[in-house]
Amino acid sequence: MATASNEQSLYLPELATVTDVKTMTETEKYFKIKLNNGKALGHKPGQFVEVSIFGIGEAPISVSSSPTQTDGFELVVRKVGNVTGAMHTLEDGATVGIRGPFGTDFPYEGTKGRDIMVVAGGIGLVPARSFINYVLANRKDYGRLIILFGARSPSERLFTDELADWAKRDDVEFLETVDKGDDTWKGNVGVITTLMPKVKIDPAKTTCVVVGPPIMYRFVIMEAKKMDLADKDIVVSLERRMKCGVGKCGHCQINDKYCCQDGPVFTYEEIKPMPEAL
Amino acid sequence: MAAKTLSKEQFQTFTDNLIAAGRVVGVKRKENKFAFGDLTSASELTLDYDVTLRSPRVFFQPPTEELISFTTGDTTTAAATIPATEPFVLLGVHTYDLIALNQMDRIWNEDNADQNYEARRKAATVIALEPIKASKWSFWASMGATKVEKGFDLLLTDIGGKYVIEIGTEAGKKLISAHAADAKEASADDLAARDRVRKELPSYCKADRKVNASVEELPTLIKSNYENPIWEKNAEKCYSCGACNLVCPTCYCFDVHDDIELDLKHGTRTRTWDGCLLEAFAHVGSGENFREHRGDRFRHRIFRKTVYMPEKINELACVGCGRCSEVCLPDITDPVKIINTIKEGN
């Protein structure tokens, strides 16, 4: 078939260059990426991009950096499939394709002046970090910043330098736990919900952002409700097979919603009538 | 808009003239069934068909379609692949299929407009046709899919010895003036005959193909039956084959994959039809399958057709063509039986 090249298409990625790669854990790698056209990604905290490894495919990946960081953007990728496996072989200077940013964002605007409580489990810290660092970059616009982080084990903790910084800062209330400790671990042991009763909040002025593996949400939301948080003030980010990112391919549908367009960030109030959400 | 008439003989000549002028896709016999295909002569055209095997959506969203091409290696490049579809006439699209096609136009063009769909759709001149037969599975009469207002360039109604041809667009008008110079203005008698034919139309669907719920009440009725045991019960016999998805004129989900040539440099990204009944449809990289159970997938399809799409675009995504009912080997997916069973229980 005759084709007209260089026509713009929903599915044509922008070329981008990997400018930094770091190994974070056994299964996670960090990537810093810059668009070749010199433009900023222009994302909002909580949005995702479709990353292309040409010849392998495309995968939806949450942006981990705050939009306040303009020198490229950051992704953290767990090696689980073809595309993420191929990403783990990338080195500095590698070319990838980027489409997006796509999806809804954490309520960084509507929560100004309010207290923020972030509950992040494992790799959920990756998208949550885009919001945390946005709040830190605009610290005076927000009330308390409470960060609760849980990892399965000490070796699976991500962004350890930043965790240490948050623990030290006076303007961040940081608590963390691991499901299972080891000889080096002197901190809390237990699932993430065990941290929640340790913080006292004013539910009327607190927004709770929850990001983690699918299993985590139900239990964290139960705890959040015990803290008297309103449904609209509990915010989650859901994982689905967001193949096209533009609301067409159908794979990410959760009942009547398309996770790639109507999500991935939803309030508990929005997902409550969606039996497939959790 | 204005209407013309052509006798059936004249219509044969019109069709041959169209074929002489360019690509014409029409309905042809395929053994004892019917299918859209390229016409080489008007004699191949069959307009008294009941239903085609596949809906005409194949011409706008082909089963496989290249989206981008790329080179990788020392220098990476990527370019969009927008189809340069030659103009064609699509002849004989039944009313219900045109309603589905109109819905696809909305789906692909609203919000993020899909350039590939748009290129193919722009290339088509649609000559629609009011059915004169229904298959034993058809239930379009119950789905309110007997009347279409838009989406056609020309609309044919068989009033016996001739066709009344309603002109829908300038393109349709030009087609008549260029290729059917002998077309007459439809007379009052012709239009009266068309009204009589149109009144008869709903009666072509068989008596046992009546949905016992109105189009208006369907979304609420089905939505309130999310936990109805019918989903699990029917899904017990479901092969998860996805045939219902493949034949549906309003299914459009797709998967995307990359292919790379043996030089390991040049490659393409292609979309292929996918189906929500297939087991891996909602499977993600981390291993989670968000619609792992057959019953959930089975329910999702019917909900999508009768609840989710009406909520999203205010239209049912079922036009009653009956194709899914016909291809379902264990006979569990027929919307008529599902809806009527649910309605009876309520």
Asked if the Cβ–Cβ distance from A244 to B253 is below 8 Å, we say no
Instruction: Give B76's contacts in chain A (Cβ within 8 Å).
Output: 15, 54, 95, 97
Q: Which of residues 135-164 of B touch A (CB under 8 A)?
A: none
Instruction: Give A240's contacts in chain B (Cβ within 8 Å).
Output: 282, 284, 290
List CB contacts of B93: < 8 A, sequence separation 6 or more.
B56, B101, B126, B127, B128, B129, B152
- The predicted structure's pLDDT at residue A7: 46
Does the beta carbon of B338 lie under 8 angstroms from any beta carbon of chain A?
no
Nearest CA in chain A to B69: A5
Nearest CA in chain A to B252: A249
Average pLDDT, chain B: 96
- The predicted structure's pLDDT at residue B1: 60
- The predicted structure's pLDDT at residue A214: 87
| DSSP result, A105-145 | ---TTTTTTSEEEEEEEGGGHHHHHHHHHHHHHTGGGSS-E
pLDDT band at B111 (very low <50, low <70, confident <90, very high): confident
Please give the Cα distance from A255 to B296 (Å, whole number).
10
Test the A interface: residue of B23, B60, B68 with most A CBs within 10 Å = B68
Element (H, E) at B26: strand B23-30
Taking the CA of residue A71 and the nearest CA in chain B, the distance in Å comes to 22
Nearest CA-CA partner of B151 in B94, B215, B102: B102
* Exposure string for A237-264, b = 16+ CB within 10 A, e = fewer: bbbbbbbbbbbbbbbbbbbbbbbbbbbb
pLDDT of B175 over the 50 cut = yes
- The predicted structure's pLDDT at residue B287: 85
Q: Which of A2, A54, A255 sits opposite B258 (nearest CB)?
A: A54
Taking the CA of residue B119 and the nearest CA in chain A, the distance in Å comes to 11
- Average pLDDT estimate for B314-320: 97
Q: Which of A4, A239, A261 sits opposite B82 (nearest CB)?
A: A4
- Cis bond before residue A214 (omega within 30° of 0): no
Does the beta carbon of B32 lie under 8 angstroms from any beta carbon of chain A?
no
Cα angle A61, A64, A65 (rounded to 5 degrees) comes to: 135
> How is residue A196 written in tokens?
């929640």
Does the beta carbon of B113 lie under 8 angstroms from any beta carbon of chain A?
yes
Q: Which of B81, B113, B253 sits opposite A249 (nearest CB)?
A: B253
The helix, strand and coil proportions of chain A, stated in percent and rounded to the nearest 5, come to: 25, 30, 45
User: Tell me: the pLDDT tens digits for B15-58?
Assistant: 999 999 999 999 999 999 999 999 999 999 999 999 999 999 99
> How is residue A97 written in tokens?
């394709």
Q: Which of A54, A249, A254 sits opposite B72 (nearest CB)?
A: A54
What is the share, in percent, of chain A residues with pLDDT greater than 70? 97
pLDDT band at A44 (very low <50, low <70, confident <90, very high): very high
Give Dmax (Cα) for chain B.
Answer: 72
CA dihedral sign of residues A92, A96, A101, A104: negative
Packing angle, helices B8-21 and B170-179, rounded to 10: 100
Asked if the Cβ–Cβ distance from B253 to A58 is below 8 Å, we say no
Average pLDDT, chain A: 95
User: Tell me: the pLDDT tens digits for A189-237?
Assistant: 999 999 999 999 999 999 999 999 988 999 999 999 999 999 999 999 9
Nearest CA in chain A to B104: A248
Q: Which of A4, A239, A244 sits opposite B284 (nearest CB)?
A: A239
Q: Which of residues 61-90 of B touch A (CB under 8 A)?
A: 66-72, 76-84
Phi, psi of B160 (to 5 degrees): 115, -105
Nearest CA-CA partner of B326 in B243, B219, B211, B207: B243
- The predicted structure's pLDDT at residue A4: 33
Q: Which of B82, B257, B296 sits opposite A57 (nearest CB)?
A: B257
Please give the Cα distance from B62 to B65 (Å, whole number).
6
Please give the Cα distance from B282 to B314 (Å, whole number).
25
Taking the CA of residue A214 and the nearest CA in chain B, the distance in Å comes to 9
pLDDT of A5 over the 70 cut = no
Asked if the Cβ–Cβ distance from B80 to A55 is below 8 Å, we say no
Taking the CA of residue A109 and the nearest CA in chain B, the distance in Å comes to 24
Asked if the Cβ–Cβ distance from B115 to A5 is below 8 Å, we say no
Asked if the Cβ–Cβ distance from A250 to B111 is below 8 Å, we say no
Q: Which of B115, B257, B260 sits opposite A9 (nearest CB)?
A: B115
- The predicted structure's pLDDT at residue A33: 98
Instruction: Give A243's contacts in chain B (Cβ within 8 Å).
Output: 255-256
Q: Which pTM was predicted?
A: 0.94
> How is residue A87 written in tokens?
């990403």
- The predicted structure's pLDDT at residue B346: 74
Please give the Cα distance from A251 to B327 (Å, whole number).
23
Phi, psi of A86 (to 5 degrees): -65, -35
User: Tell me: the pLDDT tens digits for A154-181?
Assistant: 999 999 999 999 999 999 999 999 999 9
Asked if the Cβ–Cβ distance from B287 to A244 is below 8 Å, we say no
CA dihedral sign of residues A196, A202, A204, A207: negative
- The predicted structure's pLDDT at residue A204: 97
- The predicted structure's pLDDT at residue A220: 97
B264 burial type by CB count under 10 A (0-12 exposed, 13-18 middle, 19+ buried): exposed
Q: Which of residues 247-276 of B touch A (CB under 8 A)?
A: 252-258, 260, 264, 267, 269, 271, 274, 276
Sheet of A57-62: strand order equals A57-62, A48-53, A95-102, A14-23, A28-35, A73-78
- The predicted structure's pLDDT at residue A1: 31
A200 burial type by CB count under 10 A (0-12 exposed, 13-18 middle, 19+ buried): exposed
> How is residue A24 written in tokens?
């974070």
CB neighbours (10 Å) of residue B263? 9
List CB contacts of B192: < 8 A, sequence separation 6 or more.
none
Please give the Cα distance from B344 to B346 (Å, whole number).
6
pLDDT band at B170 (very low <50, low <70, confident <90, very high): very high
User: Tell me: the pLDDT tens digits for A9-43?
Assistant: 999 999 999 999 999 999 999 999 999 999 999 99
Asked if the Cβ–Cβ distance from A9 to B290 is below 8 Å, we say no
Q: Which of residues 271-300 of B touch A (CB under 8 A)?
A: 271, 274, 276, 281-288, 290-291, 296, 300
